[in-house]
Structure 1
């Protein structure tokens, strides 16, 4: 039977790795373990995992640093595992590109549901559907979002986005010039019980702009801040 997905489990506690492996393998996921940050980063760089479950608090190289280094090269989906009360670490995690977090102690069932949700979002998004059977693509003057292929190009150059960055961009772009509050974006883009800091939205917007700006400043400027309210996507028409 073909494996559903490849998951890298990173935690310095063996009992937690064993527990996660047991439940993930029951769902037919292929599991690789890493017991520290250095090993995790090496494995994540070498192989293309579908999801990484990454503990924050590890000796030497912690999960924040692992994710930060990983994001310089890859957009692999990452779920951060954090202890209760480590809100600052969760915010840091989002700032360096984490897609979701789970608070310890956690229910293994919750982990499986989060993994499945992230896998769905990394390959498709619920925000735009076609009833005509036509190719699901949003095209703007310098930016194209191919939802069938889950690909974003700016001036014909493909941009590497994390699942959450992609979902956020697609959500904004499917309603050009509509202003969305941070609260609304948290509710709709982080689309299950998520009680996050509003800065989560700001940090994702910042990272998204930086990636678009790297190719085209005009494309980056399409994501506009509406001060005191939130954000909107400004479509730029060709002359």
Structure 2
């Protein structure tokens, strides 16, 4: 089996109680072609990791509901993904405590955009190599997430930003069942809504994607519903 030496596209989870910070980091990292999940609720991050594998976690320390050090300890029981502490605390004692508890790196706010990109690049080198997936079907799906444009079977299809995020998640997880909760986080990030409303948003967006990609209702659907969520089955 062939392996990539360093993953160039990461699935990154950002945990910060400040929504503006989450949005800022997401914008920076998505421009680097990473897939980004965000949450302002520390407990939701733990629930997410029960059904979602991520490559890298960016974690704040000073959060009201559950402080970052306690969460760091809990995260280390759930995942071995590199964890970058991103905090306004510059105390060397706190920094050392984070390293002792399993943090991989530590970056103090405010930070330069180049600093964040460099830390993420260095941490990517610590991620185990991934097998290169079969690319025979991937040539049919060329997705530009910045332009929200899908080229499917050489036909351009304009998507909404949310449709683009969901489709990218499905493409990244082709042939594997994904939960509607994981799709909701991929599409709407840290926006908190009642479960029926959130599930309906996912269902409606999937329906819209299918209509745009496969307007012929007699075609075998690329995205199929399962007991636990959805599965993307390319032709």
Q: Normalising by structure 1, what TM-score? A: 0.48
Larger RCO of the pair (alpha carbons < 8 Å, separation 6+):
2
Q: Normalising by structure 2, what TM-score? A: 0.49
